[in-house]
Amino acid sequence: MALRLGTPGNDDLVGTAGDDTFIGGAGDDTATGGDGGDAFVYQSLSDLSVWTGAIATTRETITDFGEQGQVIESGEADILDFSALTSFQFMGDDAFTASGRDEFRFERRDDDSLLMLFDAGGDGAADRYLVLDRYVGAGSRDESFVDQPVITNVIISADLFAYHYRVGLETDDVLVGTDPATDPEALSTDRIYGFAGNDRLYSRGGSDDELYGGEGNDRLFSNRRGTAIMEGGNGDDAYFVYSEFDQVIEAAGGGTDTVNSTSDYVFLTANVENLNLLAGGVTGSGNGLDNIINGNDGANVLNGNAGDDALSGGGGTDYVSGGLGDDWMRGGAGGDYLVGGAGSDKFVYYTASEAGFGADRDVITDFQGLGSGTAQRDRIDLRRIDADTSTAFDDAFRLIGAGAFTGRAGELRVVAAEILVVDPTPPPYADPPVTAPGFLVEGDVDGNGTADFQIGVVSAAALRAPDFLL
């Protein structure tokens, strides 16, 4: 490793084919790193050029900043080291905030260079600047920043806590964070900015990585060995969450956003609409919006909370709770427990097998139908089930009351019964099973005079024809 030291004047510093360290010092210096992962060290603000509103002919410049090779890792990359300066807050390409804190930002120029502006003191105006003249990456040379993602390692803190910045273009970028497990030179925390375009941003092995999608329909991926803070920005964004400690941030009006999670537990934060539990995900809860929440093939616990939610359990024995609002609920395969909660809820079945039979039947634990004497108006929706499998048509059921089946396909009956209700809480915290008065809803779809499916319904009031959609 070679050390390139400048003078108090304007220096032209050229590196070797290896890893070099440049300390230009005062004056408007030009540094050319060449091959290797070079470090450009700035020990005071006076090492940077004074900003007067335009780029001067003589200015602090790095001519070939970038990363080398097809695989982007911080160990192969150039580093900007501002650790001797007061800690600066990165603003992406947003304007300075005049908040009293030190800030720096990137700005792309018409001449294909990248400008780094520094507001020291936080008055909202740039004081110093540095020009990154050309990007060198992906095995090629002399490529403009307009055509390439901006991928930088920036050390901005004197306490050795470093951020690795990856900044995309206003196009569809794929930006991947560093992995300390495989790259010993990787910096401790990544900050990845997609900006405009439909970007894919990946955290890897670091802790507390920060991913910012910006404009566009972005996909933001956490990692399985650390945690991430993810903010999609405007657009319909998709988040992939692997830890219950991951944070998802969305502003109101920022599009329709979806969290996809393998975590044991995930709670939708404010302004996020949808949740999918991927393989390994167990518990998912909504927020105050009208959420769409989908389980997986395991035993899930889904909670809609407030809002008019749509919840689908998928496979397994699920516990599905609508909470407040008028909710749409589907247990899916397996013997599920459905809790409507407040509001007028709809319990939906696509096939007879989804309802189940015997010990594997679904149970609706709090049905409030037309006869309940409340303002709620729950209904059981069987319209998607073919009531007569012997015809080529999609037939509707006929409600026959509590009487026995007559041997005609498509009959639906309601019989008073004690319904077993099981607490879905994992042991040893679960309450013991209890029985409650209610009804068995039974359907015969093949005309053999016996029930092909059953639904247990806990209800103090008798079920009536208006309580069904047939």
The pLDDT of residue 168: 54
Residue 428, preceding bond cis, omega within 30 degrees? Answer: yes
SS3 (DSSP) at 347: strand
pLDDT in the model for residue 193? 73
pLDDT value of position 435: 94
DSSP state of 67: B
Answer whether residue 113 is part of any domain: no
Sign for the CA dihedral angle at 312, 318, 324, 327 comes to positive
Burial (CB < 10 A; 0-12, 13-18, 19+), residue 392, is exposed
* Structural domain contains residue 274: no
Residue 178 covered by a domain = no
d(CA 112, CA 147): 8
Q: Which pLDDT score, from 0 to 100, does residue 76 have?
A: 45
Is 247 within a domain? no
Nearest 10 degrees: Cα torsion 406, 409, 412, 417: 60
Using an 8 Å Cβ cutoff, are 288 and 252 in contact?
no
Residue 462 lies in a domain: yes
Element at 338 (helix H, strand E) = strand 337-339
pLDDT in tens, the chain (470 residues): 677 787 787 878 887 777 777 777 787 777 777 776 677 778 788 888 888 888 877 776 776 665 432 222 333 456 777 767 666 777 766 789 999 988 888 777 766 667 888 898 899 999 988 887 654 443 333 333 334 444 455 555 444 344 555 555 555 545 555 555 455 444 456 777 777 778 888 887 656 788 888 889 999 989 877 788 899 999 999 999 998 889 999 999 999 999 999 999 999 999 999 999 999 999 999 999 999 999 999 999 999 999 999 999 999 999 999 999 999 999 999 999 999 999 999 999 999 999 999 999 999 999 999 988 888 999 999 999 999 999 999 999 999 999 999 999 999 999 999 999 988 776 777 788 899 999 999 999 999 999 999 999 999 999 999 999 99
Sign of CA dihedral 429, 434, 439, 442: positive
Element spanning 325, H or E: none
User: What tokens were used for 160?
Assistant: 């050795």
The reply to whether 258 falls in a domain is: no
pTM above 0.85, yes or no: no
Q: Range of 447's domain?
A: 353-470
Measured CA distances, 139 to 64, 71, 152 (Å):
13, 10, 16
CA-atom Rg of the chain in angstroms: 31
Q: Provide the domain count of the chain.
A: 1
Residue among 282, 308, 311 at smallest CA distance from 296: 282
SS (H, E, C) 351-419: CHHHHCCHHHCEEECCCCCHHHCCCCCCEEECCCCCCCCCCCCCCCCEECCCCCCCCCCCEEEEEEEEE
The span from the CA of 354 to the CA of 339, in Å, is 16
Domain assignment present for 336:
no
The DSSP bridge partners found for residue 84 are none
162 falls within a domain: no
Question: Exposure string (b/e) for 335-367, b if CB count within 10 Å is 16 or more?
Answer: bbbbbbbbbbbbbbbbebebbbbeeebbbbbbb
Count of CB atoms situated within 10 Å of the CB of 452: 18
- Please report the pLDDT score of residue 166 as a whole number: 55
Q: Would you state the pLDDT for residue 309?
A: 98
Beta carbons of 284 and 266 less than 8 angstroms apart: yes
